[in-house]
A and B are shown apart, each in its own frame.
Chain A
């Protein structure tokens, strides 16, 4: 079945960087758009970034544009999120999620990882 396993979270000081990874299995990796969605403690859900199934398109939420970079390694079925210039407000659980439908750039999410927690604090 579809599995998305995130890693790389932790505690980091403001202004520093962190790189999240998401290992995917159980589906054809290159057929699906993949996203990062985050959830601050006790709060709602916020879409962060996407990379299209073919890697040709990337989009970011305004709150992270210019600081975060999404990428994917199709040979290892892995999605990444490079987070630079981290701020306290970036503190959240970060979920790797799969977009619904093959070969589509969709913004609904049919599979979710369990998340990795990022805490930005001095």
Chain B
């Protein structure tokens, strides 16, 4: 099983600041990486697939990068509605998720 490790566990960011979230795969997954956002009491929402392709309706402030085993989600200027938990997921071999990074207000 491919293990996904996210860092940091919690990220404290002020509105308007840049947020950088990391995700590492235990083996190469090429670009088969997705990012999801989950707010309290809600279902997750797809943000990025193919490591860098934004899903329909996702604002341009969200960007993904990386390939192989190292990936990054960047939120260029954090908005109030962006706070929540972010999960990365590999889908190169079945589908396994990271444990999540909680983005909170600083």
Seen from chain A, the residues whose Cβ lies within 8 Å of a Cβ on chain B are 44-47, 59, 95, 100, 106-115
| Known contacts A47-B94, A47-B96, A108-B34; is-contact A100 B49 (Cβ 8 Å) | yes
Closest to B1 in A: A62
Number of A-B contacts (CB under 8 A): 49
Interface of B is mostly: loop
Return 16 A-B CB contacts under 8 Å, by A number: A44-B98, A44-B100, A45-B44, A95-B44, A100-B46, A107-B89, A107-B94, A108-B32, A108-B34, A108-B91, A109-B34, A112-B43, A112-B44, A114-B42, A114-B43, A115-B43
Please judge, given known A-B contacts A106-B91, A108-B49, A108-B89, whether A46 and B97 are in contact too, CB under 8 Å: yes
CA gap between A47 and B42 in the complex, in Å: 17
**In the bound complex, what is the Cα–Cα distance between A4 and B73 (angstroms)?**
27
The number of chain B residues with a CB under 8 A from chain A is 21
Nearest-Cβ distance from residue B106 to partner chain A, whole angstroms = 23
Q: Indicate with 1 or 0, residue by residue over B64-106, a CB within 8 angstroms of chain A CB atoms.
A: 0000000000000000000000010101001111111000000
Which residues from chain A contact B46 at a C-beta distance below 8 Å?
Answer: 100, 108-112
Contact across chains for A45 and B45 when beta carbons are under 8 A apart: no
Q: Are B43 and A107 in contact (CB under 8 A)?
A: no
By a beta-carbon cutoff of 8 Å, the part of chain B in contact with chain A is: 32, 34, 36, 42-46, 49, 55-56, 87, 89, 91, 94-100
